[in-house]
Structure 1
Amino acid sequence: MIPHLITSSGDPVLELEQRILEAQPSIERWFRLEWMEHTPPFYSSVDLRNAGFKLAPVDTNLYPGGFNNLSPEMMPLAVQAAMAAIEKICPEAKNLLVIPENHTRNTFYLENVHTLMRIFRQAGLNVRLGSLDETVTEPMHLKLPSGGELVVEPLIRNKLRLGLKDFDPCTILLNNDLSGGIPPILQGLHEQYLLPPLHAGWAVRRKSKHFHAYDDVAKKFAKLIGVDPWMLNPYFAQCGKVNFHERHGEDCLAEAVDSVLAKVRKKYKEYGIQEKPFVIVKADAGTYGMGVMTVRDPSEVKDLNRKTRNKMSVVKEGMEVSEVLIQEGVPSVERLQEAVCEPVVYMMDRYVVGGFYRVHADRGPDENLNAPGMHFVPLAFEEQFNVTHPEAAPGTNGPNRFYMYGVIARLAMVAASYELERTDPETELG
């Protein structure tokens, strides 16, 4: 199902789509060269926003938790990508240990874990689940709405190796974003591959560092295809040492909001865009759409009411928010049955393996859609995303639109590889 795209024939994003389709050979060569120099994250997902006048990533997740929302037709792509990723890291791999999030009663999330396990089993691995939750002291059987079952087992640490009873894995795949910190049981595993690396977790990672890296990628790519980098890149600023409860850092936040809005207004004037600019203020670390608010004027971040301060002060795992990202808001023009939606693209290794639309009937085009009440619609095109139709008019063909989504998402994936290199503690120490 393809949503009705509210765009016009003169839409800049349609021109961007045309540029991308015309430059496909150069683009694919550019990506190949990037992957010769850099290592892609093991898996990732990217939230995109299509404003009609720009298409940009607004969030990149290195512990994607929605594989169950992908179209079944895309599963063969995921299995092939998993095979390629594992062969590159540990060709002799036999056993894979998956470590899920601790909130293992969330059935939507558990279906994601079940899908991940199925992908890696079909890629030729023995797959079992081990929990970081210390209350899990014996195998726990969890029934799934789809009719399947997961068995979550207690982890066993032995010297430099981590495994389960009678199960010694070559590779450990984290599907836990470490928002609550890095547990000692995962540290010092010098004889096993831990994917993603520990510094990819939210205990260490910052969105602002990712978007600094994305700045570099977007400039290079925009030069390659001859477009303004702003067409695919949101402005942003970062503000540290914020305390919403004690109302510290409000001046810093207001100044950052004012600075980003001023840059956006200048671009809107340049392109004759009549929309009122806004920014999204969100925690610089963390996920699940927590700690996010839409701001249209610097005055709005001063004298926040108690409810908003409480909402912004804590994210997943009770993590206190002390640093925030102020990001240019990209309004979504995409609709599915009149509801605002945004594309989310899933990748494994260097490959796009599918995606879906996040849909929210009760949210506006300038609001965060990753909130209670959202639902997902798989991107289920008749053909695979990489089979483009260059002769078709921009905006009229599903595979062409999804190919463009995949290109922008892969730019964010390249940025994530830069980011992980730059924040690698071993590199920093070296």
Structure 2
Amino acid sequence: MPVPHLTIALNGPIFELEKRILDAMPLIEHWLRKQWHEHAVPFYCSVDLRNSGFKLAPVDTNLFPGGFNNLNPTFIPLCVQAMMTAVEKICPDAHSILLIPENHTRNIFYLQNVAVLQSIMRQAGLDIRIGSLLPEITRPTPVALPNGDTLLLEPVQRRGNRLHTADFDPCAILLNNDLSGGVPEILQDLEQITIPPLYAGWATRRKSSHFNAYDSVAQAFAELIDIDPWLINPYFTSCGKVNFHEKEGEDCVAAAVDEILRDLQEKYTQYGVKEKPFVIVKADSGTYGMGIMSVKDGADVYKLNRKQRNKMATVKEGLFVRNVLVQEGVYTFESIHQAVAEPVIYMIDRYVVGGFYRVHTGRGIDENLNAPGMHFVPLAFDTTCVQPNPTARPDAVPNRFYAYGVIARLALLAAAIELDRYAKHPVLNTNA
């Protein structure tokens, strides 16, 4: 696989960061093992990272990953082994699982992800079927996939407090549906275990809550290996009561943008970074790259045209944006064939099982790459994120991937802490 290269000289803070991570590998792995004893690990997770050459940080964490089809097939045995551990830990008696996907019947790429996930679970010794929540799926419906395989979608039924299909009564429910539109009544109060729990969906989660948890994780990790936490942690804040159509909440957003820009400029000056700092404003819940904009001045918030306001006002499922995350923009200086790239790391339980590069030919180094209408080419990693080479340079591919795996696991730990908090104080909302 051609690996995206950093387009700036790798001899500054990020080189030192990768060197610290590599040198501290035994310490880091011991510390992480201790964390997994203290926190329940999410069932699976993907993390979007950005490598600016002077900073390496997560910018999004997804608890319902939808890109297993983009992983290197060579790593499927890793996925199967991790899946066995994940299932045994959460539901040791599980042998039959009903997978509930997103309602993306026309998105073949997503359905390929479901097929790979189903295959991984079958190889882990599980009887798994795909249950659709779509009302138009009234009978078992085969969907042909580009590779010649067929995915069978079955209508979901509910009897009492159990979910099943016509001839399949599973002992557990696996969600690959992020519940952006809220928790359907058919999924509430089930006696079967639901994985991940319902409060892991976007009906409950807030990105600001996740990054609040990550803030504490990054601080502890930075103390562990003696680095500036900013090198792995984006500044952020949040604003509520926002309505982009009615221009409500703009003052909060603009002020937050300017404050982060001031703090960023101090760091850029400290580290000799010549680029102009920028900020990402995005919906505080939801996914699929919707409701996101890049700004370089708080005044930009007031200057949105109608099309931009419409874009920022709604997200997946047509939900209105009421809360936004205002987050430090992290440049990506990785590129391949003149197209910008960012790594996406996949984990099952606490194990890194692979990753890929999201490559976008139509976006810039300071823009969101996970964008609707994107022309994106996934480049599967050709080596794992768990086998660094201590005799090679810190920026050698195995070592860079190990650093990616470490930072991704910090985001996984933050998600674990975040879900602990939701479990103790479950408050469902509908993105109000």
TM above 0.5, one fold? yes
Other structure's SS at 1:179 match: coil
Deviation at 1:427, TM superposition (A): 6.4
Deviation at 1:140, TM superposition (A): 1.3
- Per the alignment, residue 230 of structure 1 pairs with 230
Deviation at 1:374, TM superposition (A): 3.2
| Distance in 2, Cα, partners of 1:206 & 1:89 | 24
CA contact (8 A) 2:6 2:53 kept: no
- Per the alignment, residue 58 of structure 2 pairs with 57
Q: What's the CA shift string for 1:37-78, capped at 9, x where partnerless?
A: 001110000000001110000000000000000001111110
| Distance in 1, Cα, partners of 2:143 & 2:378 | 25
| Distance in 1, Cα, partners of 2:56 & 2:161 | 45
| Distance in 2, Cα, partners of 1:375 & 1:124 | 33
Deviation at 1:139, TM superposition (A): 1.2
| Distance in 1, Cα, partners of 2:77 & 2:142 | 28
Equivalenced residue count is: 426
Which amino acid in the other structure matches residue 111 of structure 1? Q
Alignment of 1:286-365 (within 5 A): 286-365=286-365
Q: If the length of structure 1 is used for normalisation, what is the TM-score?
A: 0.97
Q: Structure 1 56/370 Cα, relative in aligned 2: closer, same or farther at 3 Å?
A: same
- Per the alignment, residue 409 of structure 1 pairs with 408
- Per the alignment, residue 202 of structure 1 pairs with 202
- Per the alignment, residue 271 of structure 1 pairs with 271
Other structure's SS at 2:251 match: helix
CA contact (8 A) 2:254 2:298 kept: yes
Deviation at 1:133, TM superposition (A): 1.5
- Per the alignment, residue 11 of structure 1 pairs with 12
1:184 to 2:193 alignment: no
CA contact (8 A) 2:55 2:231 kept: yes
| Distance in 2, Cα, partners of 1:254 & 1:387 | 44
- Per the alignment, residue 145 of structure 2 pairs with 144
Q: Structure 1 209/426 Cα, relative in aligned 2: closer, same or farther at 3 Å?
A: closer
- Per the alignment, residue 158 of structure 1 pairs with 159
Other structure's SS at 2:303 match: coil
CA contact (8 A) 1:140 1:152 kept: yes
CA contact (8 A) 2:69 2:116 kept: yes
Other structure's SS at 2:129 match: strand
| Distance in 1, Cα, partners of 2:25 & 2:122 | 33
Moved more, 225-234 or 137-146: 137-146
1:216 to 2:216 alignment: yes
Deviation at 1:376, TM superposition (A): 3.0
Q: What's the CA shift string for 1:244-293, capped at 9, x where partnerless?
A: 11111111111111111111111111112111000001000110000110
Deviation at 1:159, TM superposition (A): 1.3
| Distance in 2, Cα, partners of 1:164 & 1:427 | 29
| Distance in 1, Cα, partners of 2:65 & 2:129 | 18
Which amino acid in the other structure matches residue 108 of structure 2? T
Deviation at 1:424, TM superposition (A): 1.9
Deviation at 1:94, TM superposition (A): 1.4
Percentage of identical aligned residues: 61
Ranges in structure 1 where 5+ consecutive residues have no aligned partner: none
Q: Structure 1 233/107 Cα, relative in aligned 2: closer, same or farther at 3 Å?
A: same
Which amino acid in the other structure matches residue 420 of structure 1? L
Deviation at 1:428, TM superposition (A): 7.6
Q: What's the CA shift string for 1:372-417, capped at 9, x where partnerless?
A: 2332333333x4331211111121x211111100000000000000
Which amino acid in the other structure matches residue 419 of structure 2? L
| Distance in 2, Cα, partners of 1:188 & 1:408 | 35
Deviation at 1:426, TM superposition (A): 5.7
- Per the alignment, residue 136 of structure 2 pairs with 135
Deviation at 1:135, TM superposition (A): 2.4
Other structure's SS at 1:286 match: coil
CA contact (8 A) 2:67 2:110 kept: yes
| Distance in 1, Cα, partners of 2:134 & 2:73 | 31
Q: If the length of structure 2 is used for normalisation, what is the TM-score?
A: 0.96
| Distance in 2, Cα, partners of 1:131 & 1:428 | 26
Deviation at 1:84, TM superposition (A): 0.5
- Per the alignment, residue 419 of structure 2 pairs with 420
1:42 to 2:37 alignment: no
List structure 1 runs of 4+ shifted beyond 6 angstroms: none
| Distance in 2, Cα, partners of 1:337 & 1:405 | 22
| Distance in 2, Cα, partners of 1:309 & 1:55 | 31
Q: Structure 1 9/324 Cα, relative in aligned 2: closer, same or farther at 3 Å?
A: closer
- Per the alignment, residue 71 of structure 1 pairs with 72
| Distance in 2, Cα, partners of 1:9 & 1:175 | 38
Which amino acid in the other structure matches residue 378 of structure 1? L
| Distance in 2, Cα, partners of 1:263 & 1:379 | 36
Deviation at 1:303, TM superposition (A): 3.1
Deviation at 1:13, TM superposition (A): 0.9
- Per the alignment, residue 251 of structure 1 pairs with 251
Q: Structure 1 426/228 Cα, relative in aligned 2: closer, same or farther at 3 Å?
A: closer
- Per the alignment, residue 123 of structure 1 pairs with 124
CA contact (8 A) 1:421 1:427 kept: no
Alignment of 1:102-117 (within 5 A): 102-117=103-118
| Distance in 1, Cα, partners of 2:269 & 2:6 | 24
